[in-house]
Amino acid sequence: MSTVIGIDLGTSNSCVAYIKDGRPVVILDEEGRNTTPSVYTVNANNEPVCGYPAVAQAGMNRKNTIFAIKRFIGRKFNSTEVQDAMSKLPYRVLPAENGDAWVEINGVPVSAEEVSSHVLIRMKEIAEHYLHEDIKRAVITVPAHFNDSQRQATKDAGRLAGLDVLRIINEPTAAALAFGMNIIDGKDVLREHVNKSFKERSRSDRMIAVFDLGGGTFDISILELRDGVFDVKATNGDTFLGGEDFDLAIVSYLIEQFKKLTGRDISSDKSVLQRFKEAGQNAKHALTDVPKVDVELSFVQGLEHMKITMDRKLLEDLCKAPLKRIEDPCLQALDDAGLVPSDITDVILVGGMTRMPAVKKKAREIFECDVWDTVNPDEAVALGAAVQAGLLQGYVKGVSLLDVTSLSLGIEIQGGRTHTIISRNTTVPTKKTEIFTTSAPNQPQVSIHVLQGEEDFAPDNKSLGRFELMGIRPAPRGVPDIAVTFEIDAEGIVHVSAKDLDTQQEQRIEIIANSGLTDYEIDKMLREKRIEEEQKRARDARRERDAELAAKADSGKDDDTELREKKMDLKTAIFMTQVKLNTEGKRFKGRGRVILEDCLTTARDVLANARDAGEVAKVLKDLQERNSALEEYLESLW
């Protein structure tokens, strides 16, 4: 039987794991790294580039490098969250024909599902390289508060990646599975440490809060662990709260400081904003380990140099708003579970943002206890996904999972209001029936509009489907009894039925989740992907043949030939840089221009006199690096 992998498809980074000898193990990439950036672009040959190579080229290709796509998957373009995020991104977000939020890469509209599929393809490739086998099946994690469309969109991304997605599992639930399996850093955490502090409690009874703050989403789940059974009591969260929001708070501060220093407002310059964001991220990461850090930015818009000092206190002050937003979901989850903070025995920190000291402090304040930071926040969710994969395959024994529905389900009633039938945080599988009646005399039929969400006003919730119950006998208003039944099975599929108890007429509907992409569109993308793979294989074969021929031709190449080639590259670089300076770069002034012109002078001297290919290559590299300030200035003019 082929291996089923577990994938944590993250906003900032993704991770993959599998079950080995009954235990989950993270799969490392070819360079020994445990995570892969969830970043995607295409190269000059229109070939997909994902992960670390995509990050490496982002500085020179900001408008076509897509990151944080998880924030848009399954969302509509006109949603408040998408509209708020658009102005802060270097790439373009645009509406699809069905109203979904898509992105633009090299002028081509691309769905969030397709971008996510390339991240999943990269994770699949890492697993295949590590395990030396074809991978066809996976368990993928999503934020606990993802709605029906977002979950199905993630599943469609898996399908586009060539994966059979056996299960979509909530991220905090996955992290709790990993914790309960005693696989944290190879230590027997539960027996050796936790139980010593809670002797008055049952040694197998834990009430766990999983605090999951990642790059783009926040989840909090309350689970009870008893005798190997994980019973999810409540879940809550914010699908638009994460490291991106902390980064933006730092960027706003850097913009303000730059304006104080220079008098110039660069808030509309997307290329500079991206540089500020990268500098802010680096400062945020550094302040996890050190109390103070310098933020330096050279040649902003090709002109200015800025250096400021940040410390942890300043960072915490800047991030007060996103830190405050963490509180309400946590308190609501406790309330939904019928608990108070003192009932929680363990708080598990998951997600890269939980490394930030201010976030740890906030978690301690909310739950009034110490938190577990021995969990590797980058790996816990993927490890838990692998545990779920192991459960499905029968490789993991003695563990079972009782999950909940994260959002309420109900129907629209008179006045455009929502009537909830299955409340959020109800354990699944579940079934519930309620009796309704007609709103008008002699009403021959009723319309059942199925909704998902917590809002009182029906249009503010997610519409899952509609159907009609016909054949109701003529009767005064309020006389007929209509039994409406909601059922959620173990796979999370929702079945809704309506039955006239007088005539026994009945109608049923199975809610088929819809991501926005139709089956035709997905099949078309899969066909195009297969064609692209065949073309890529053909190109790679040609390149191998050309490389072999070139190697044979170069076998007798001497040093003079290499020197001539390096000088030709340097001559081209000098010419292109001078043309840019004399045309679009006429207004490129200040220290940046002086340094670049000095570099050009040195390059011309080396071109004329150098006798060593290594010397020429060094000057060429220096010229290319100095040229980046000019490129940023030209980009800012757009």
Q: Quickly list DSSP for 499-538.
A: EETTT--EEEEEE----S--HHHHHHHHHHHHHHHHHHHH
Report how far residue 161's alpha carbon sits from residue 155's, in angstroms, rounded to the nearest whole number: 10
Prediction pTM value: 0.73
Under 8 Å between Cβ of 484 and 439: no
**Identity of residue 71:** R
> For position 163, what pLDDT does the model report?
95
How confident is the model over 37-79, as pLDDT tens digits? 999 999 877 788 999 999 988 877 888 999 999 999 999 999 8
Grade residue 497 by pLDDT with cuts at 50, 70 and 90: very high
**DSSP 3-state assignment of 291?**
coil
Residue 190, pLDDT > 50, answer no
Grade residue 492 by pLDDT with cuts at 50, 70 and 90: confident
Over residues 580-587, mean pLDDT = 73
Residue 553, pLDDT > 70, answer no
The set of residues, in sequence order, having a beta carbon less than 8 Å from that of 124 and lying 6+ positions away, is 5, 16, 135, 138, 161, 162, 163
Grade residue 270 by pLDDT with cuts at 50, 70 and 90: confident
Under 8 Å between Cβ of 207 and 179: no
Exposed / middle / buried, residue 241 (Cβ in 10 Å: 0-12, 13-18, 19+): buried
Higher pLDDT, 583 or 221: 221
> For position 103, what pLDDT does the model report?
95
Residue 314, pLDDT > 60, answer yes
Grade residue 491 by pLDDT with cuts at 50, 70 and 90: low
Report how far residue 526's alpha carbon sits from residue 151's, in angstroms, rounded to the nearest whole number: 20
> For position 323, what pLDDT does the model report?
96
Within the chain, all domains assigned CATH 3.30.420.40 are found at 4-240+326-402
> For position 144, what pLDDT does the model report?
86
Q: Which CATH class is domain 4-240+326-402?
A: alpha beta
> For position 264, what pLDDT does the model report?
84
Over residues 298-302, mean pLDDT = 72
Within the chain, all domains assigned CATH 1.20.1270 are found at 558-638
Grade residue 448 by pLDDT with cuts at 50, 70 and 90: very high
Over residues 469-492, mean pLDDT = 88
What's phi and psi for 450, nearest 5 deg?
A: -85, 130
Q: Could you list the active site residues?
A: 8, 70, 171, 212
> For position 302, what pLDDT does the model report?
63
* CATH number for the domain formed by residue range(s) 409-511: 2.60.34.10
Over residues 85-99, mean pLDDT = 89
243-323, CATH topology level: Actin; Chain A, domain 4 (3.90.640)
122-126, 205-209, 234-238, 561-565: least confidently modelled range:
561-565
558-638, CATH topology level: Substrate Binding Domain Of Dnak; Chain:A; Domain 2 (1.20.1270)
Whose CA is closest to 162, among 117, 110, 112?
A: 117
Within the chain, all domains assigned CATH 2.60.34.10 are found at 409-511
Under 8 Å between Cβ of 366 and 343: no
Under 8 Å between Cβ of 149 and 27: no
> For position 337, what pLDDT does the model report?
92
DSSP assignment, residue 66? Answer: B
Over residues 495-507, mean pLDDT = 91
Residue 80, pLDDT > 60, answer yes
> For position 551, what pLDDT does the model report?
66
**DSSP 3-state assignment of 463?**
strand
Helix axis angle, 559-582 relative to 613-636, nearest 10°? 20
Grade residue 522 by pLDDT with cuts at 50, 70 and 90: confident
> For position 141, what pLDDT does the model report?
95
Over residues 362-372, mean pLDDT = 90
